[in-house]
Amino acid sequence: MNVQHQFLDVIDRDEAQRRFHAVLELQPLGEQAVPIGQALGRILARDVVAAVDVPSFDRSNFDGFAVRAEDTYGAAEETPRHLTLLDQSIATGTVPQGQVSAKTAMAIATGGMLPRGADAVVMIEHTDIERGELVVRRAVHAGAGISFAATDIAAGETVLRVGDGLTSRETGVLAAVGVDRVQVWRRPRVAVISTGDEILRPGEPMRPGMVFDSNGRIIADAVRELGGEPVEYGVVRDDLALLRQRVTEALAECDVVLLSGGTSKGEGDLSYHAIRDLSDPGIVAHGVALKPGKPICLAASQGKAVVILPGFPTSAIFTFHEFVTPVLRRLAGRAIETASIRSARLAVPVNSEIGRTEYLLVGLVQRDQAEVDADRAGVRLAAYPMGKGSGSVTTFSHADGFVTIDRHHERLERATMVQVQLLSRDWRAADLVVIGSHCVGLDYLLGRLQQTGIRTKFLAVGSTAGLDAAGRGECDLAGIHLLDAETGEYNRPFVTADLILIPGYGRMQGVVYRPGDQRFEGKTAESAVTQFKNDPACIMVNRNQGSGTRILIDRLLDGAKPPGYAVQSRSHNGVVAAVVQGRADWGVAISGAAQRGGLGFLPLTEERYDFVVPAGRVDRPAIGRFRDLLAAPDVREALEHLGLT
């Protein structure tokens, strides 16, 4: 039997980082010369000093005529100046053989070298040629139309410095000063090892109890984004000898070793056992007071970092950016980035855990202008927690940033001002924000809008929370399917004077079950639930509180709480998955989801899935595009194919 030991020394995040950095060699890994064609994205290891002037000669800025400026003074349409036009014409890439003297001019092309004696260029548009003479109809001053040698870059000038990242702008500078090879810091080689018998490589057929290796892909690409070179060792099964061999190989070949999963101290958590015997110094921190990310294990061997990241995706990503990113930036010669911060008000209250620093992923939306005006601090954004847990693959990709909750705080109330650290520096507010209940029809509609260039954001918080968000002006649309118990009508009874209802479509709700289950075959939804809601052998899967389906379920159960009642899925697809996999025997979902999952379906009621819009936002262009799309015949046909009418 596997024995799960508790972490022996859970420490503060700052102390963990201090110990970790103290045993690492945190300096760039050495220089290498690369051709300029391979320099994009690299970090300079030496200053670049120009060996030539740019431009290296006085050149014309446009097609025209090289002249002495004083010979054009007084020129105008009515009083032009006449100059003798010399026979020579100066093309690009040629050295002028003659010179310009008093009352003469020489034709010159854009980029041509200025001839001796000339100090200005007249644009060809301001001249005419008559009987061999140049007629100048606009005066120019000395220096007009000329880029003088070294006005951009002077020989001996430092044009790029150590630590500069090479974008297309910098490589253009290198080319301009004639550099064909450049000294850059070597990219850190980072071993990426995924562990576990339950891990499948993407592309393999899915099997019960297995999961695809998303962590390996996420971590490898995060390394690449930071300028590192990931070395992917693939999935290593739960074989301690094999895992130790892989770690040994990785330490010999790479500068950093990252493992995913197996961070705990149980007998089955092999990553920990594979590195616990490392020396010089080995493990320096195992268990950090973070949420998510408590199980992280930090170690080093001969100055090289060895890190076991937690297996859950969100935990793995957070701890990677918290502990590995600073190390990789130092090894790659990159400057430590300063965080990009936005102030926001929490949209809902948040409970935290005393004693652990918590990183709360959030989505950002614009607040209603009336709320902003009433806010003494003028905070323009609201932050919605992305509450899918550390096991979610999508949470991090859908979030805009995160809030750090101090380990001494147990609860943050709604409207608390928080500082949100953005996950992307190019973040901007979406054109259309939708908050509320999830629906496959909504997914389709938002996808169509995105194709037209409208940036959308959807936060699945349930119908009730979506309605509240619309009432506070924190979204453009709220998708809802709320049943009024008194009237039996959907949605309209909940729409207040400051909200506008946009009719959506109908969805048939019903009881879903595995085909062939005789407890449900041939029954109505009501009779089946009545018969089995108190049967301990018949397990249900519920929906999340605040969802329209949950209201329907509670009405159907009439106070009963069958086995599985506390298990709350956040979507119809989640209900279907629980029944398909046998974790539950029945639940309530829409017909389209049941059909896609191959489940039996007992119709219960047709509900309305509609949209509400804050009255002050109804004239926004994105809302107009949404309403037009919803009414389009081809869209209605597509929705019908999804089981929505």
pLDDT tens, residue by residue, 480-513: 999 888 888 999 999 999 999 999 999 999 999 9
Task: State how far the Cα of 214 lies from the Cα of 220, in Å rounded to an integer.
Answer: 10
Residue 393 scores a pLDDT above 70: no
Cβ 353 vs Cβ 396: under 8 Å:
no
3-class DSSP string for 382-451: EEEECCCCCCCCCHHHHCCEEEEECCCCCEECCCCEEEEEECCCCCCCCCEEEEECCCHHHHHHHHHHHH
Q: Does residue 210 surpass a pLDDT of 70? A: yes
Kindly report which listed range (86-95, 159-168, 249-258, 380-389) carries the lowest average pLDDT score.
380-389
Q: What was the pLDDT predicted at 267?
A: 52
- For residue 525 the two structure tokens come to 């939804």
Work out the mean pLDDT of the chain and round it to a whole number. Answer: 90
Residue 222 near residue 73, CB atoms below 8 Å:
no
* Reported confidence tier of residue 461, pLDDT bands at 50, 70, 90: confident
Residue 458: both structure tokens together: 């959807």
531-545 average pLDDT score: 91
Q: To 10 degrees, the CA torsion angle through 96, 97, 101, 107? A: -50
pLDDT exceeds 90 at position 299: yes
Q: Please report the sign of the dihedral spanned by the C-alpha atoms of residue 458, residue 463, residue 467, residue 472.
A: negative
pLDDT for residue 262: 59
- Tokens in use for 518? 């005789």
> Using one digit for the tens of pLDDT, what is the confidence trace for 170-189?
999 999 999 999 999 999 99
The confidence score (pLDDT) of residue 61 equals 96
- Contacts by residues 632-640 (CB-CB < 8 Å, ≥ 24 positions apart): 635/444, 635/445, 635/448, 638/444, 639/441, 639/444, 639/505
CATH number, domain 13-27+187-331: 3.40.980.10
pLDDT at position 2 is 37
pLDDT of 534 reads: 85
Least confident of 202-206, 232-236, 388-392, 611-615: 388-392
pLDDT at 31 over 60: yes
Supply the pLDDT for residue 502: 96
**Residue 574 scores a pLDDT above 80:** yes
CA gyration radius, the chain? 34
The answer to whether 136 touches 67, Cβ cutoff 8 Å, is yes
pLDDT (mean) for 606-615:
94
Q: Tens digits of per-residue pLDDT, 552-573?
A: 899 889 899 999 999 999 888 8
Task: Write the pLDDT tens digit of every residue in 308-356.
Answer: 998 888 888 889 999 999 999 999 999 887 779 999 999 889 998 888 8
What is the DSSP pairing of strand 104-108 with strand 189-195? unpaired
| Total-model pTM | 0.78
- Strands 120-123 and 381-385, bridge-based pairing: unpaired
Judged against a pLDDT cut of 70, whether residue 463 lies above it is answered with yes
pLDDT score of 261 more than 80: no
> Quick one: pLDDT at residue 269?
64
**Distance of alpha carbon 117 from alpha carbon 100, whole angstroms:** 5
CB atoms within 10 A of CB 614: 22
Lowest-confidence segment of 202-206, 575-579, 598-602 by average pLDDT: 202-206
Q: What integer pLDDT is reported at residue 313 of this predicted model?
A: 85
Q: Average pLDDT of 162-177?
A: 93
Domain parsing of the chain, residue ranges: 13-27+187-331, 31-54+152-185, 59-147, 341-422, 432-506+609-641, 507-608
E-strand ranges in 73-223 read: 81-90, 104-108, 120-123, 127-130, 133-136, 146-147, 158-160, 181-185, 189-195, 199-200, 211-212
Lowest model confidence (mean pLDDT) among 108-112, 228-232, 443-447, 482-486: 482-486
Tokens 């101090």 — which residue? 406
Output the CATH code of domain 59-147. 2.170.190.11
Q: Is 196 exposed, middle or buried (0-12, 13-18, 19+ CB in 10 A)?
A: buried
pLDDT, position 423: 86
Query: Span 228-251, mean pLDDT?
Result: 92
Q: Which CATH architecture has domain 341-422?
A: Beta Barrel (2.40)
Tokens representing residue 549 in the block: 């389906």
3-state secondary structure of 162: coil
**Portion of the chain with pLDDT greater than 70, in percent:** 96
Q: How far apart are CA 68 and CA 61, in angstroms?
A: 16
Q: Answer whether residue 594 shows pLDDT above 50.
A: yes
pLDDT > 90 fraction of the chain, expressed in percent and rounded: 66
The pLDDT score that the predictor gives to residue 264 is 55
Query: Do the Cβ atoms of 362 and 344 come closer than 8 Å?
Result: yes
Chain-centroid distance, C-alpha 32: 32
78-82, 227-231, 337-341, 464-468, range with the lowest pLDDT: 337-341
Across 3-7, 23-27, 285-289, 588-592, least confident range:
3-7
The residues, ordered by sequence, that sit 6+ positions from 452 with a Cβ below 8 Å of its Cβ are 625
287 pLDDT exceeds 90? Answer: no
In angstroms, the first-to-last Cα distance of the chain is 54
Distance CA(59)–CA(61), nearest Å, equals 7
Strand, coil or helix: 278: coil
Q: Report how far residue 446's alpha carbon sits from residue 432's, in angstroms, rounded to the nearest whole number.
A: 9
Separation between Cα atoms, residue 193 and residue 231, nearest integer Å: 9
DSSP 8-class letter at 322: I
Structure tokens at 645: 């009418």
CATH code for the structural domain at 507-608: 3.40.190.10
The CATH number, out of the four listed (3.40.50.1100, 3.40.190.10, 3.40.640.10, 3.40.50.12780), of the domain defined by the range 432-506+609-641: 3.40.190.10
Shared fold status for 31-54+152-185 and 432-506+609-641 = no
Q: 411-429: b or e for each residue (b if 16 or more CB lie within 10 Å)? A: ebeeeeebebebbeeeeee
Strand 417-422 relative to strand 341-346: parallel, antiparallel, unpaired? antiparallel
Q: Name the strand (E) or helix (H) holding 230.
A: strand 229-236
Cβ neighbours of residue 87 closer than 8 Å, sequence gap 6 or more = none
Domain 31-54+152-185 grouped into CATH 3.90.105.10:
yes
| Segment among 199-208, 448-457, 472-481 with least mean pLDDT | 199-208
